[in-house]
């Protein structure tokens, strides 16, 4: 086993997935967050203190000091195929309609993304524009994990990387591409509506696609193009309708439906549900929006009901939680034996909506309403008479994990990372004082909740936090899930699963757990005893970490390396 340092700009989803995979394999893994150091010398000193066998950089926007990569094998994971260079790789891939793309692991050298190649993994891009975040968290992350596995194997075997100019370019035409700033994604209303949706997809997350809407400036996110024209008289860029939180904008050749937006003045505002930003008065007419933006989708297959829940970036605001709880109640009103709650391919949930909370006139009151509403959703699942199944189709955190654990049976796709804790200066609710301990026991529950470290789906199953893990491939997982749930609907399997759920049932009323959780939450929200307000703002602004959390550093000091091996 090796001592591996993850040198990153943030402990983001991909970094967490790499961290979990390497830990599961038995490696000693530490993390250093590059922007936490005020000088290259300080960063170099921290690396020297760790003295790793290998440095991996799965998400790094900062330059690695030469004194580091000269002394330690340092490999950067770049979200582009062999020959691709530059910081806007995925943006270009979406904008230029690439059919194939990839991820490459390269040695760090003086010139960015120009070092010898350790590994590369390519994949097919869909014809329809896919939001950059969904692309990054899906096929890019899968390809990155394949590259990381190959790098670790090669380093352990003493193998060396191949010079970049000797590697075949399976994706033709890749080269050094320029950094794309926000003006490159400007929504030009004279362009076809599909092209606008593609620009917004490429700018997803950051920097956002700037647009003029009804005379004001905004950034648009989470867009879908449709060919229907809602108002033939409207000028492109005008608000012509809404459906729940999504807003319809007139466009050339159709309608641009936008799920999220932010004001754009001197700096971009917080990303919020589009109707809160583009149609706050709610004066536009109601129209049926595209299915891609629907919050829920319900279908039934005999004895099984399947409710798919969608939340942009996993955040669920107060009104949305109320609608989701109502959707669960409606599904449970049917005469099914099993109800499955699942997320989309790239999203499950991360709990309450910090953006809506921060943007409200009274953030504390909104936070309180939001936590009450998500608790209602959790209770709707927990009180169900039917057998309930939660399927983690994608990674989840905090209240999103806890909401899933309220189900009788919890399944997950392989590759999913769970953050079963609260790390925003709040105690948390969502009935976690019952569900976590009921599944893993009080000691492991305390470790998970206070340790504040992610776990892979495989590790979560080993601990008993979830019940089973299915295939990593989305199509294969869907087939596995359908078969598994169909089996659970059978009389014998249903009785066995119900017996297990009964053993996990709370020995006190759910209202007890909810009451003690909310008592703690009230102090965190209204008294701000642990800095919830400041942490929330730092999170939304993506502020650099002031230091690397001690819990992410190596478990053993550099001088104890031989014990790890």
Q: What is the pLDDT of residues 116-160, one digit of tens each?
A: 999 999 999 998 899 999 999 999 999 999 999 999 999 999 999
Query: What does the pLDDT read at residue 560?
Result: 44
What sign does the CA torsion over 38, 40, 46, 47 have?
A: positive
Q: Residue 430, class by beta-carbon neighbours within 10 Å (0-12 exposed, 13-18 middle, 19+ buried)?
A: buried
pLDDT tens column, 510-548: 999 999 999 999 999 999 999 999 999 999 999 888 899
The pLDDT assigned to 30 comes to 97
Q: Which tens digit of pLDDT belongs to each residue from 11-60? A: 999 999 999 999 999 999 999 999 999 899 999 999 999 999 999 999 99
How far, in Å, CA of 15 to CA of 523, rounded? 32
Average pLDDT (282-302) is 95
pLDDT band at 113, cuts 50/70/90?
low
User: Cα separation of 235 and 237, whole Å?
Assistant: 6
Question: pLDDT of 316-342, one tens digit each?
Answer: 999 999 999 999 999 999 999 999 999
Whether this model's pTM surpasses 0.85: yes
Encode 440-467 in three state secondary structure: HCHHHHHHHHHHCCCEEHHHHHHHCCCC
Confidence of residue 93 (pLDDT cuts 50, 70, 90): very high
Report d(CA 362, CA 196) in Å as an integer: 35
The average pLDDT across 419-440 equals 97
Q: Give the confidence band of 556 by pLDDT, cuts at 50, 70, 90.
A: low
Residues in Cβ contact with 530 at an 8 Å cutoff, skipping those fewer than 6 apart: 425, 426, 524
């Amino acid at each position: 086993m090796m001592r591996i340092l993850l040198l990153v700009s943030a402990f983001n989803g991909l970094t967490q997935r790499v961290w979990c995979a390497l830990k599961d394999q038995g490696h000693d893994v530490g993390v250093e967050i590059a922007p936490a150091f005020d000088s290259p010398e300080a960063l170099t000193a921290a690396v020297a203190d760790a003295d790793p066998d290998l440095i991996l950089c799965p998400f790094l926007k900062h330059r690695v000091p030469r004194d580091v990569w000269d002394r330690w094998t340092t490999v950067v994971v770049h979200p582009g195929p062999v020959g691709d260079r530059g910081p806007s790789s995925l943006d270009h891939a979406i904008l230029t309609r690439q059919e194939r793309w990839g991820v490459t692991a390269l040695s760090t050298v003086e010139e960015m993304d120009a070092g010898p190649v350790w590994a590369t993994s390519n994949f097919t891009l869909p014809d329809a524009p896919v939001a950059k975040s969904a692309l990054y968290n899906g096929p890019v992350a899968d390809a990155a994990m394949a590259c990381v596995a190959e790098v670790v194997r090669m380093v352990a075997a003493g193998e060396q990387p191949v010079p970049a100019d000797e590697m075949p370019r399976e994706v033709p035409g890749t080269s050094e591409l320029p950094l794309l700033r926000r003006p490159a994604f400007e929504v030009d209303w004279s362009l076809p509506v599909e092209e606008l949706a593609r620009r917004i997809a490429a700018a997803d997350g950051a920097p956002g696609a700037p647009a003029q809407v009804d005379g004001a400036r905004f950034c648009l996110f989470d867009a879908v193009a449709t060919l229907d024209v809602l108002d033939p008289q409207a000028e492109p860029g005008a608000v012509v309708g809404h459906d729940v939180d999504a807003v319809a904008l007139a466009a050339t050749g159709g309608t641009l439906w936008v799920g999220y937006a932010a004001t754009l003045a001197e700096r971009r505002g917080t990303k919020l549900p589009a109707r809160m930003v583009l149609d706050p008065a709610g004066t536009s007419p109601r129209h049926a929006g595209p299915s891609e933006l629907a919050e829920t989708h319900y279908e039934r297959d005999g004895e099984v009901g399947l409710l798919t829940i969608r939340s942009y970036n996993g955040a669920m605001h107060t009104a949305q939680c109320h609608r989701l709880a109502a959707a669960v109640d409606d599904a449970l009103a049917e005469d099914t034996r099993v109800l499955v709650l699942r997320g989309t391919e790239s999203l499950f949930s991360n709990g309450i909506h910090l953006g809506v909370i921060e943007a409200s006139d009274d953030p504390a009151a909104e936070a309180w309403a939001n936590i009450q509403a998500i608790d209602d959703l959790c209770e709707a699942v927990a009180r169900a008479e039917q057998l309930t199944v939660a399927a983690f189709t994608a990674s989840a955190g905090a209240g999103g994990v806890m909401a899933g654990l309220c189900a009788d049976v919890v399944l997950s796709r392989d590759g999913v990372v769970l953050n079963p804790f609260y790390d925003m200066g709040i105690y948390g609710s969502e009935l976690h004082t019952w569900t976590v301990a009921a599944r893993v026991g009080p000691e492991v529950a305390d470790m998970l909740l206070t340790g504040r470290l992610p776990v892979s789906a495989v590790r979560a199953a080993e601990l008993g936090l979830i019940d089973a893990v299915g295939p990593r491939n989305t199509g294969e997982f869907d087939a596995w899930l359908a078969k598994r749930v169909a089996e659970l609907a059978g009389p014998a399997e249903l009785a066995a699963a119900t017996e297990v759920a009964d053993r996990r049932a709370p020995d006190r009323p759910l209202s007890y757990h909810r009451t003690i959780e909310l008592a703690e939450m009230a102090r965190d929200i209204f008294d701000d005893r642990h800095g919830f307000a400041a942490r929330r703002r730092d999170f939304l602004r993506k502020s650099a970490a002031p230091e690397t959390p001690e819990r992410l550093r190596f478990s053993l000091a550099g001088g104890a390396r031989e014990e790890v091996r």
